[in-house]
Amino acid sequence: MSHLANIEGLLFVSGDQGISLAELSRLTGLLNSAVKEQLEKLSLKYKNDINSSLELIQYNDCYQLVTKEKLADLIKDYFENPNSRRLSNAALETLAIIAYKQPVTRLVIDDIRGVQSSGSLQKLIALDLIRENGRLDVPGRPIIYVTTTQFLNYFGLTELKELPVISENQDFDGEIGKLFLNNFNEKLQENEE
């Protein structure tokens, strides 16, 4: 892989957290100046490619891939469309981890799921099921996520203590979303009886 591809991959997996110049330099083994040169090439690549929906932004010392501003209305329509309000398994897994482990960072969620969760987090934020709750005071200052009042309403709960119990021997693996949904379905059935 080229240096440009490596940097692009790191930007992609860093998601909404972004990644610092220093971290890109450390991970790629390139000098800061070489990383900056690659970032400029990548930025131009996105800017000049009318078929790309991405652009590279910089805030403070972090770099982040985002969708181009021209797509704002389309993306807003996607999140406001009732058909997109159904939660995917990935979103359900992410939501379950946040519900049971909160407050929690994306890196912890990604570690539990074994895959990157930025897309699911963005959808859950757009649906107002989770929210950002500050940042950890550690290098990189990762965002902390918690559930919202809308989360409680969505699942018919009045407080987090009403979450279905997950036994200690049940791991938060790829099946946690299904387990979460099944437990809620059982709880909803009990409430109906």
* Domain 86-192 annotated CATH 3.60.15.10: no
* Whether residue 185 has pLDDT greater than 70: no
Q: pTM of the full predicted structure?
A: 0.55
Beta-carbon contacts of residue 187 (< 8 Å; ≥ 6 apart): 162, 164
Residue 26 has pLDDT above 80, yes or no: yes
**Contact call for residues 76 and 163 (beta carbons, < 8 A):** no
CATH numeric code, 3-70? 1.10.10.10
Average pLDDT over residues 171-187: 55
Q: Where do the domains of the chain lie?
A: 3-70, 86-192
- Closest alpha carbon to 78 in 53, 97, 95: 53
For residue 164, pLDDT beyond 80: no
Do the two domains 3-70 and 86-192 of this chain adopt the same fold? yes
Paired residues of 54 in beta bridges: 67
Residues 6+ apart with CB under 8 A from 116: 13, 15, 110
Vertex 126 angle, CA 48 and 124, to 5° = 110
CB 38 within 8 A of CB 4: yes
Specify the pLDDT at position 188: 44
* Cβ atoms of residues 130 and 143 within 8 Å: no
Tens-digit pLDDT profile for residues 41-75: 999 999 999 999 999 999 878 899 988 888 888 87
